[in-house]
Structure 1
Amino acid sequence: MIKGFKDFLLRGNVVELAVAVVIGAAFTAVVTAFTAAFLKPLIQLFSGGGELAGSFEVNGVAFDWASFVNALITFVITAAVVYFLVVLPLKTLEERRRRGEEPAPAEPTQVELLTEIRDLLREARGEEAAGRHAVGDPDGPTG
């Protein structure tokens, strides 16, 4: 069970996805800090400045519309960067591959696949043999 979990974690896609999530969260934090430190004060300044800039009150309830606009700008900046630095280049690369201008990633050969299968079978047999030995002979190999 532990081996299966380890194999799952070490699979390329899972590790790449985890890295992408961490980088995305860090990038979003940077954009949020930028918009909170620079853009929100500008929004408040352009809305008249003063104590109630970027917000208003109705019956004692404050509506902070500057924070909403700030969050919206944060989202747009993050989405634009993801699109222009990740999605668009990958889309362009895929189109080039489709037209034959760019070679596709090399597929494993039959020999490589058979070697991998052989190694996995050996590993599975080794674990089974170790398990049978431990169950069949409680005293171990010196018994």
Structure 2
Amino acid sequence: MSVTEGDICPDFTLQATGGRTVARDDYKGRPFVVYFYPKADTPGCTKEACAFQEALPALGRIGIEVIGVSKDKMSALEKFAAKYDLAFPLASDEAGGVVEAFGAWVEKSMYGRSYMGIDRATFLIEADGRVAKIWHKVKVPGHAKAVMDAAAALA
């Protein structure tokens, strides 16, 4: 299953860093961003998280909150968030149900070997709960700015 633009955001409730829980229904009436990344504290994922952290003040001014989701254990996410001083919630989806519901669990290949993994993907959700924009196979440089520009267009 894969979410497409215009769909209602899949329901989710996940444990997140800082003793928080994040749930779709917490954001009712407010736009937000959910981004999926393969593994905490790896080079690309660190650059992406830090770029979203840098964009938080600007996103906050237009009323957008950010949630990062991976299949990492909470302990790894807490370390990652502390190491880079990430203020937004990083949520753990160890079971993978939310990753699958969004269509971010995909077949990948490296060195001729196929395996399943998380697609670096971002979903901009409108205040009415519909998916406004989707980015798949995200390239990190400039991505946070592209998300911010798309979010500003909603405001």
Work out which structure has the larger RCO, using CA pairs closer than 8 Å and 6 or more positions apart in sequence.
2
Higher helix share: 1
TM-score interval, normalised by the smaller of the two chains: under 0.3
| TM-score when normalising by structure 1 | 0.22
